[in-house]
Amino acid sequence: AFPARLLVHTWDHAAKVVLGGYLAFFCLLLLGVELNAPLRDIFGVLYHPLGRGFMLILMSSMCYGIHIAWWELLLCAAFAGCSFGYIYAYIKYPEYRRWQDYNDNLIWSDM
């Protein structure tokens, strides 16, 4: 039934399981960066638009590499659209390059 099928699928497609694990880790990392400002010391590149854009491109390619069902391609397109939006805004608008000014607000400076 279900557990046996899951184990067989894990054994047959180990690379897709590893990609799924990395994708889950990067999704949780991106969520943690959005919700927790003290992570800036460890993952500072994710507070920059180009760093976040390239990480989203990496996550998009992982979704494309898994490609078991249709929703992985939908997630791939969503990550790619967000990443190209970050990179386009960084290139097009010079005020967006001063990302540090937007992240330093009074809420996080009190912590």
Q: How confident is the model at residue 61 (pLDDT cuts 50, 70, 90)?
A: very high
Kindly provide the b/e burial profile for residues 86-109, where b requires at least 16 CB atoms within 10 angstroms of the residue's own CB: bbeebeeeeeeeebeeeeeeeeee
pLDDT of residue 60: 94
The mean per-residue pLDDT over the stretch 47-76 comes to 89
Mean per-residue pLDDT of the chain: 81
Q: Quick check: 8 pLDDT over 50? A: yes
CA pair distance 47, 45, nearest whole angstrom: 5
Phi (first) and psi of residue 64, to 5 degrees: -65, -35
- What whole-number percentage of the chain has pLDDT above 90? 29
CA pair distance 18, 7, nearest whole angstrom: 14
CA pair distance 34, 2, nearest whole angstrom: 35
CA pair distance 14, 6, nearest whole angstrom: 11
What are the tens digits of pLDDT across the range 64-110?
Answer: 988 888 888 999 999 999 999 989 988 888 777 665 555 555 445 55
Best CA proximity match to 34, nearest among 45, 25, 47: 47
Q: How confident is the model at residue 54 (pLDDT cuts 50, 70, 90)?
A: very high
